[in-house]
Amino acid sequence: MYKVFVNDIPIIISTRKDFGGNYKNYRLKTVRLKKIVRKILDGRLTHVNLYNKDETKLLDLLLKKMKVVTAAGGMVINSKEEILFIYRNHRWDLPKGKTEKDESIEDSAIREVEEETGVQGLEIKRFITRTFHIFKRNGKLRLKETYWYEMYTEYEGELVPEAKEGIKKAKWKNYEKTQKALTKSYANILMLFPERYLAGQSKDRIA
């Protein structure tokens, strides 16, 4: 199963023909995804399930529905167990950005985090997950596929938010401040954290 976010509303991509509850169910192979997204943006739909019986084909079918923008970013942790956040568009986010042509996903993730925050000395520790969300660019809908990595750094220098990208702040946040920031973040960012962490039951990042 996958989740594709339109703002903070998830479109479920699953093998279940009927997801139950208030969900409207559509066949993934034939659905007009842009039409569904416009209904969500207009407030006419809030619960959507797109299904296909073959789980191995879910992602391929999804990625054929809309032009895809590939991005990469990081959950950066320092020696104090703090997490690096950026503040943009009135929300706390994690640094990420579009992958350039002929650039590897991992190189892209490191470059974007460095550019958006000024942090240095990054080391990728592990791949976390991929997230999906739909946005508008020049009036056209696009599907953004973001690869997320856990990174580590011992950098203690100044953080410099990338103003030209609309980033107002770049801040290290401890466990308590991270919990607060996540209440003003995005649904796809919450997916990077274990449920125990979000519930305030554990400071461990790894489930």
Looking at residue 202, its pLDDT comes to 64
pLDDT, one tens digit per residue, over 157-179 is: 999 999 999 999 999 999 999 99
pLDDT, one tens digit per residue, over 64-115 is: 999 999 999 999 999 999 999 999 999 999 999 999 999 999 999 999 999 9
Poorest-pLDDT segment among 27-31, 142-146, 183-187, 203-207: 203-207
Q: Provide the residue ranges of all domains of the chain, joining segments of one domain with +.
A: 2-63, 73-198
Task: Give the mean pLDDT of 181-201.
Answer: 88
Fold of the domain built from segment(s) 73-198: Nucleoside Triphosphate Pyrophosphohydrolase (3.90.79)
Looking at residue 198, its pLDDT comes to 78
Percent of the chain, pLDDT > 70? 97
Instruction: Name which residue leads in pLDDT, 145 or 204.
Output: 145
Can you give the three-state secondary structure of the chain, one letter per residue? Answer: CEEEEECCEEEEEECCCCCCCCCEEEECCCCCHHHHHHHHHCCCCCCEEEECCCHHHHHHHHHCCCCEEEEEEEEEECCCCCEEEEEECCEEECCEEECCCCCCHHHHHHHHHHHHHCCCCCEEEEEEEEEEEEEEECCEEEEEEEEEEEEECCCCCCCCCCHHHCEEEEEEECHHHHHHHHCCCCHHHHCCCCHHHHCCCCCCCCC
Q: Whole-prediction pTM value?
A: 0.92
pLDDT, one tens digit per residue, over 44-60 is: 999 999 999 999 999 99
